[in-house]
Amino acid sequence: MFKINISTKDGKTFKIESDNEGLIGKKIGESFNGRDISNDLQGYEFEIKGTSDKAGFAGVKDLKGPNLRKVLLTKGKFLHKVKNKGVRKKKTLRGNEISLSTVQINTIVSKEGSKKLEEIFKKESPTQ
């Protein structure tokens, strides 16, 4: 079961859950058709921007494969608080490939379909 967050260019986010295993093997940065997650999203195309697994470890675009890895980081995207200049810290991160361990997939709309997302997800109000 994947929890998929769909973000639009105007800042709205819609959430959908999907059991479709067609996303397994896709990588961060790749695009896929909306029909892969729901028939209602036919005509849409989404780009994968990020993932996280069942333990909350983030997927990193630069790490190949679906496995967990311990990576030595300096201050930057995945290491924010650093006491002194030059400090490095080892953190556990997941690779860029979607696997069965992946729970959440963050996407952005790269091509819109015929129906608006507001009409498709009219039951839920979008998160801003």
Q: What is the pTM of this model?
A: 0.84
In a domain, 127, yes or no: no
In a domain, 17, yes or no: yes
What are the tens digits of pLDDT across the range 26-51? 999 999 998 888 888 888 999 999 99
In a domain, 15, yes or no: yes
Q: Which residues contact 38 (CB under 8 A, 6 or more apart)?
A: 16, 18
Q: Give the number of domains in the chain.
A: 1
What are the tens digits of pLDDT across the range 83-115? 888 888 898 999 999 999 999 999 999 998 888
In a domain, 81, yes or no: no
Q: What is the pLDDT of residue 127?
A: 64
Instruction: Give the residue numbers spanning the domain of 39.
Output: 2-61+97-120
H-only helix segments in 30-123: 117-120
For residue 12 the two structure tokens come to 């709205």
- Report the candidate in 55, 66, 68, 69 with the shortest Cα–Cα distance to residue 99: 66
